[in-house]
Structure 1
């Protein structure tokens, strides 16, 4: 499955260059032209990496970066025409992982993207355990615990829960869950996602614990505390 890259860039020529170049390199690419749309798309279809322009209409790139970073650890590369040290510091302080000035070399950008995605995968592997509230998931042993209670999950239940724990507090649509977990479209009539959400809720809440997998009506599901 190819990595998904979200490009938030309001200059049509640059946005088109990035879209065509990244598609050619085998990435899945989403492109939007303003910060609000970028935040919305990142919530609905969580990307593996974000390329973010600083100067955007409406919500600027620094604020978008701060909000993205508050919600997840997705790698963020900032693009800007500004090249002063204070501007770079502001970008990095807002949570960016990399900073490239316009005009830029596409090959340099590709190298940065590959390095960040590689680092993300290494960090995920090295960080064997992830937590959300009283819920913990171990990548290496594929064990899940809620508090001191161990949950007996099937392989597919584990995969679904892992997806939510990798994107806490982000609404995951049915389409993105299908794509990330089953890698193909079951069709609009399938209720396979609802079935697995029900299985997980039954096991997560077996001792009367508060619900963590919430339904966002008409959109999808989100891992968050009520």
Structure 2
């Protein structure tokens, strides 16, 4: 079995991809290359990389958006690359879930040292992106797809984000404050009416009776729990 760490590089600059491909392979890494955010997310979902190097400026979507989608289902270490070197850009990327940040141009040896540190500190996670399917409700967190009894279910971004977060903690109570903080942001932890509306819409679309819930159980005064069937 090949135990070499697998690194996914998402960058639209061909010269950067080539530079990293050569440098990483010389250090014994396996390398996956993507030129767009969509291509990178697809590779992250299907090729089980150990670490992601993500450019902030991509042609189809911002690196921040790629990171946000990735964080819906994975805690893979992410090293952000950018020509933007302001403190606010770095803080924003780290607050949104990046594990490290380097500005272009950069030295290959410093990059390798940071990769080694990220891989050493990587928390354990499932080998494959999680998918839930109980024969009625199916949720693919990697592809952001939800279906009910085989039919695609259209959810808003907030509805999907709440469902995904509850599913990631299936069987455990997720507090109102945690849901509000992670879905709406740290300034909305008291806006419980937002959460009530989204939970109500989710129940309506799922056909989930709040008095006898099949999937979404409310723990009064505490939070919500996804019931594993």
| Structure-2 separation of matches of 1:89 and 1:163 | 29
Gaps of 5+ in 2: 141-166, 169-227
Q: Is the 8 A contact 2:48 2:127 kept in 1?
A: no
2:76 equivalent to 1:74 = yes
- Of 116, 119, 127, the match for 1:163: 127
- Indicate the SS of the match to 2:121: helix
Between Structure 1 and Structure 2, how many residues are aligned? 141
| Structure-2 separation of matches of 1:102 and 1:29 | 20
Aligned-pair CA distance for 1:106: 0.9
| Structure-2 separation of matches of 1:169 and 1:102 | 36
Aligned-pair CA distance for 1:169: 3.5
Q: Is the 8 A contact 1:7 1:29 kept in 2?
A: yes
- Of 100, 105, 108, the match for 2:107: 105
Q: Is the 8 A contact 1:79 1:100 kept in 2?
A: yes
Q: Name the counterpart of 1:154.
A: none
Q: Name the counterpart of 1:24.
A: 26
- The residue correspondences of 1:140-219 to structure 2 (distance < 5 A) are 163-164=127-128, 167-169=129-131, 210=134
Question: Would you identify which runs of 4 or more consecutive aligned residues in structure 1 move more than 3 Å?
Answer: 209-212, 223-226
Gaps of 5+ in 1: 125-129, 131-161, 171-208, 217-222
| Structure-1 separation of matches of 2:95 and 2:135 | 34
| Structure-1 separation of matches of 2:76 and 2:93 | 15
Aligned-pair CA distance for 1:211: 6.1
Q: Name the counterpart of 1:65.
A: 67
Give the alignment's TM-score, normalised by structure 1: 0.57
| Structure-2 separation of matches of 1:92 and 1:72 | 16
Q: 1:46 to 1:211 in 2, by over 3 A?
A: farther
Aligned-pair CA distance for 1:210: 3.9
2:52 equivalent to 1:47 = no
| Structure-2 separation of matches of 1:169 and 1:53 | 27
| Structure-1 separation of matches of 2:65 and 2:127 | 26
- What do the CA deviations read for 1:19-70 (whole angstroms, capped 9, x no partner)? 0100111111001111010011111112100000000011111100111112
